[in-house]
Amino acid sequence: MANGNYINQYITDTLENNYMPYAMSVIVSRAIPEIDGFKPAHRKLLYTMYKMGLLNGNRTKSTNVVGQTMKLNPHGDATIYETMVRLTRGNEALLHPFIDSKGNFGKVYSCAMAYAASRYTEVKLDSICSEVFKDIDKDNVDFVDNYDGTLKEPLLFPTTFPNILVTPNKGIAVGMASTICSFNLKEVCEATINYIKDANIDLKKFLKAPDFSTGGEIIYNESEIDKIYETGRGSFKVRAKYRYDKKNSVIEIFEIPYTTNIEAIIDKIIELVKGNKVKEINDVRNETDLNGLKIAIDIKKSADPEKIMSKLFKLTPLTDTFSCNFNILVKGSPRTIGIKSILDEWIDFRMDCVKRQTAFDLKKKSEKLHLLKGLEKILLDIDLAIKIIRETEEDSLVIPNLCDGFKIDLLQAEYVAEIKLRNLNKEYIIKQIKAIEELEEDIAKLEEVLRHESKVLKIIVEDLKRVSKKFGRDRKTDIVYEHEIKAISEDDFIEDYAINLFLTKENYLKKITSVSLQASMRVAAENKVKENDEIVESIVTTNRAEILLFSDKCNVYKIRCYDIPECKTSNIGEYLNNLLPMDSDEKIIKIVLSNEYKGYMLFGFENGKIAKINMASYYTKTMRKKLVNAYSDKAKLVGMLYIEKDDDIVLIRDLDKAMLINTSLIAEKQTKSSGGITIFNLKKNSFMTKMLLKEDFKAEDIEYYRASKINGTGHFISEKDKSENGFGGQLKFV
């Protein structure tokens, strides 16, 4: 119903009428390759070059080809030239380039090496295109009108080999995408030949794994390869190849994964070096030249190159993942299929091409034989033919009179009438009779091919053998089996050494190597802190250790020591509010080593209760930086201890009483935020003020303070013990 200038319409109808045609156009006419291994843009460009005579001719300027291609491709010269660049030998994106190029076409492995403008470069079709266009003029594929109806172009190319598996393709359509890796041509041909002979073969025996123009090494996982071969979906890893120049202490990377580039690799290595993740590297640079790709990494003479490369394989794009999605247009419909299904579809397509080409040859030879049969009748009595022509008064009656005189049709009579007088000799007659015999033999063979599919398949196999022999090459990408690679953990990448951690009252954390600390002659004086700040806690550990930092807001923060920047004794350290996701007014009050989350945390509260929490409560599968409710906030915290196993601890009430107990008497709590159980019985206005390890309490007779059971009242502290422990003034939380 019309409403002013607007029409009410269901959104589903709008999508179906407007969006769906666009989506299908992108899927069918732009982004997804077909069974011949080409997208429409590729096909328009290569067919234009074929019609320009560039299969056997000399190179021509790329601009010329781009201009001619616009008769088939209306999307602009820039997109046409970009398509051309990827298909060239110079770009090195394909195992078997379709375009022989001269000039700078950039490199697939570098985003910084830009290709030259089309007016500077020259191109022609590479020799493998003879197999792409084989017999295309013999009606073996369908042709359609171009966008303005002035020219014809092929819907598909009659490729004599499964190019869909040899040429890598990537396309993003609307609602779907396609990513097809490349395989070795020789292996593809061999696999296809054997699959034609026996459909039950194990393809992996012949088609070992994908192969890329940039080389590298495939990390072979059989289950993943099986999944890709069967379903057309899955992923595998590819890593770079390198060699080590021991004389100059240089690692040279000369092949990289197809999915990355030089700049991404170098940028990541620089980032790791700056972040102190890889300390053995002195310099990294791009030394790619006319001889090929090379990334040079200068390392320290004492460094182990294999260990460094193990780090870089783990932490940089030197190992990258290729995700497969074999989405292919089959008879106009997108389908995600495995390799056997791809070969089935290609064989059906190729059989149709061969049959159509055979039918075309049969028709042409039959027409030729028909004409020669008429000539044969004439040659039996040449004198009569000459007499008929001589006695015919009108030129228009020559053909009818020959038809009547020799009982032949108009086509035969026309062919005979065009023969020159000089050809009516014995030699010519013998040649024509022999040609008839040869044509009859050829026609019989062609008819035999059309009658038997096995003959068609034999032709396909012969083509595959010829292509493999002529164009096949050894693999560029090596295969490394996953079980052969030494398993490495993240800890293997971390240099381990002794460190000291210092926590200050103002929330600063200093990480100083023990070597640096020992080198200082006046540690206390040189261990600098901010004005009015002081060190409240220090621990000795290693760079690989993981620590827990408990805050005054009942949170615990987890961090690995190697993630904490090192500093000198003369620096004030890292401000923890910048290092951790803390509130601005939150402070760290205790540092504890995780110790593989074994042991217990003890939390003492001023109400006389203690919570005994298993360290496993703070373990998480992922490295979560913050855990809330790390301990109870129901009462004021007066002490926090880590014990590896049950041990003796001392509890202090106010300034006058102490109690020695073994933690085995304290029941373990399952909840981190538990308020604990009562250990120290307190009078009104009395509080538990301190909790410390037995060895940290100085006593003349420590056993005097021992309680045989919990929930006790403790013993008065002797004056001497008070003095030894400095209980004369106000107690501080430790």
CA distances, 712 to each of 190, 653, 659 (Å): 86, 11, 8
Query: In terms of DSSP bridges, do strands 152-154 and 143-145 run parallel, antiparallel, or are they unpaired?
Result: antiparallel
Of 19, 22, 120, 497, which residue is the catalytic one? 120
Answer yes or no: 120 catalytic: yes
Any idea which residue has 């090459």 for tokens?
A: 473
| Among the listed residues 126, 136, 57, the one whose alpha carbon sits nearest the alpha carbon of residue 98 | 126
Distances in whole angstroms, Cα of residue 340 to Cα of each of 191, 337, 351, 461: 10, 8, 16, 16
Q: Which helix (H) or strand (E) holds 132?
A: helix 129-132
Q: For residues 729 and 225, what is the distance between their CA atoms, to the nearest angstrom?
A: 74
Q: Do residues 237 and 320 make contact, with C-beta atoms less than 8 angstroms apart?
A: yes
On whether the CB atoms of residues 598 and 644 are closer than 8 A, the answer is yes
| SS3 category, 292 | strand
Quote the CA–CA distance of 162 and 50 in Å, as a whole number: 20
Identify any residues that bridge with 34 across adjacent strands, giving them in sequence order: 329
The burial of 476, by beta-carbon neighbours within 10 Å (0-12 exposed, 13-18 middle, 19 or more buried), is given as: middle
Question: Could you count the other beta carbons within 10 Å of the beta carbon of residue 575?
Answer: 15
Q: In angstroms, rounded to a whole number, what is the distance separating the alpha carbons of residues 367 and 412?
A: 10
Where does residue 557 rank: exposed (0-12), middle (13-18), buried (19+ CB within 10 A)? buried
Between CA 354 and CA 342 the distance in angstroms is 18
Q: What are phi and psi of 292, to 5 degrees?
A: 125, -175
Q: Catalytic residue numbers?
A: 120
